[in-house]
C-alpha cells in the first residue's frame, strides 16, 4: 500500500556555512541532480548593512544610511548534490566572512518532478573557518564495478567542489 503520490515541491530544511567558501543547503526530501546542481537556482546576499558613501548634497539624508545601501551578492561557483540526495554543497567564488546572509533558492525539483515555484529565503551566518576539507567524488560514470563497459566509453568524475587543472 503506497499511499497518495507526492505532489509537494521540496523545501529548504536548513542552510549552514561550512567554511569561508562552502555553504550546505539541505532539502526536506531527495532532489534531482540536474536541478540541484544549477548554480542559478541559488543566490546568496549579504544582509549586514553595507554603508553608502557620505552624502554632501545637503538634502538632510544621513551619511552612510543603511536604508540606502545595496546588498552585496556572493558569486556561486558550483553546486554539488551530496550522496544522501538531499544536501547540496555550494562553493562560492569568493571568501565569505562571519556576517549575516540570506540564501535564496528556487527552481529545484524533487525526485518525483515537483518543482519549487516560489523563492525560499533562509538566513544564515558565515564563518571565518578556512577550507581544509579535501574534495570528494560525488558521481562517477561508469559506476565502480560496472561490467560490459567498452574501452572507448568516456569516463566522467564529478567532485564536490571545483578542481584546478594542474597537469
Lowest-pLDDT range of 27-31, 48-52, 111-115: 48-52
Question: What pLDDT was estimated at residue 161?
Answer: 67
pLDDT surpasses 60 at 44: yes
My answer on whether omega of the bond before 109 falls inside 30° of 0, hence cis, is no
pLDDT category, 23, cuts 50, 70, 90? Answer: very high
Rounded mean pLDDT, 35-41:
96
pLDDT surpasses 70 at 52: no
- Select the more confidently predicted residue: 133 or 17: 17
Q: What percent of the chain has pLDDT over 70?
A: 78
Scanning the structure block, which residue is given the C-alpha cell 549586514?
A: 48
pLDDT surpasses 60 at 51: no
- Residue pLDDT, tens place only, 63-111: 444 444 445 889 999 999 999 999 999 999 888 888 899 999 999 999 9
Q: What percent of the chain has pLDDT over 90?
A: 51
Q: Pairing state of beta strands 87-92 and 156-159?
A: unpaired
Which residues are within 8 A (CB) of 2 and not within 5 positions of it... i.e. 6 or more apart?
Answer: none
Predicted TM-score (pTM) above 0.85: no
- Select the more confidently predicted residue: 62 or 30: 30
Scanning the structure block, which residue is given the C-alpha cell 547540496?
A: 88
How many Å apart are CA 82 and CA 100, to the nearest integer?
25
Amino acid at each position: 500500500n503506497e499511499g497518495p503520490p507526492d505532489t509537494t515541491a521540496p523545501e529548504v530544511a536548513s542552510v549552514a556555512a561550512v567554511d569561508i567558501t562552502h555553504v550546505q543547503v539541505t532539502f526536506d526530501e531527495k532532489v534531482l541532480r540536474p536541478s540541484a546542481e544549477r548554480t542559478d537556482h541559488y543566490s546568496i546576499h549579504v544582509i549586514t548593512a553595507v554603508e553608502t558613501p557620505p552624502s554632501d548634497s545637503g538634502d538632510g539624508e544621513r551619511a552612510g544610511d543603511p536604508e540606502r545601501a545595496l546588498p552585496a551578492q556572493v558569486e556561486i561557483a558550483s553546486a554539488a548534490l551530496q550522496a544522501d540526495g538531499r544536501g547540496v554543497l555550494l562553493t562560492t567564488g569568493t571568501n565569505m566572512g562571519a556576517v549575516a546572509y540570506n540564501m535564496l533558492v528556487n527552481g529545484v525539483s524533487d525526485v518525483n518532478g515537483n518543482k519549487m515555484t516560489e523563492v525560499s529565503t533562509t538566513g544564515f551566518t558565515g564563518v571565518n573557518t578556512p577550507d581544509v576539507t579535501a574534495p570528494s567524488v560525488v558521481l562517477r560514470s561508469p559506476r565502480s564495478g560496472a561490467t560490459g563497459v567498452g574501452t572507448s566509453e568516456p569516463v566522467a568524475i564529478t567532485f564536490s567542489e571545483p578542481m584546478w587543472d594542474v597537469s
